[in-house]
Amino acid sequence: MSENNAPKASLARWWRQVLFVPLLHSKWLTADARARLTDEVTRAELGHRGEVFLIVENHLPIQDAYHMDCRERAVDLFSEYRVWDTEENTGVLVYVNICEHQLEIVADRGISNHVSPTVWRAMSEKAVSGIANKKTEASLAELLDEIGQVLRQYYHLEHDPAGNELSDTVVFLK
C-alpha cells in the first residue's frame, strides 16, 4: 500500500474488535449457510476462467486492528490464500468483516485491467446494504452471481480445461 492509502491508526477500531461478541453477530453463518454459499461460489465460477474466493471473518486480528483496516486485511488474505496465483491472474477475493460491517473485493490484475474499481465498489455497497437489512446470505449470493457475470463477460469459456484452481469452500475466520 502506498503511503497515501495507508490505513490510519484507530483506537476505536481496535476497541470494536476487542468488544465484539461473535456469538451475537455470526449466527447466520451456519454450516448449511456455508454450504449454500460454497455452492454459490461454484456457480459463480461456471463459464469462465476466473476464480472467486469468499472469506468471512468475525473481526480483525486484535494484534493488528489498531493499524490495519478491512481493506488492508483483505489484501493480506488475498496473498495468504494465493488468490493472485491463478494462471491468467483472474482471481477475485470477497472479504466480509462482520464486526466492521464491511465488505471488500480484491481483484487480481488480469481482471482489474477490464473492470473499474467503481464497479467493484458499487457491487460492495449493494451487498453491504443488503447485509445491513439482515439479508446477509442472500446479499452475498447475489454478489457472487454478479461477480460471475462480470468474469464471464471478460473471460468467457464454456468449458474450463484448467479446472478449478482455488477451492470453492467458504473460509470462515473466527
Per-residue pLDDT of the chain (174 residues), as tens digits, is 344 566 788 888 887 777 776 665 667 788 999 999 999 999 999 989 899 999 999 988 888 888 889 999 999 999 999 999 988 899 999 999 988 889 999 999 999 989 999 999 999 999 999 988 989 999 999 999 999 999 999 888 766 655 688 999 999 988
Nearest to 172 by CA among 15, 23, 25, 31: 31
The half-sphere exposure of 90 on its side-chain side, counting CA atoms within 13 A, is 20
Buried b (16+ CB within 10 A) or exposed e, 134-153: eebbebbbbbbebbbebbbe
pTM: 0.87
The half-sphere exposure of 37 on its side-chain side, counting CA atoms within 13 A, is 24
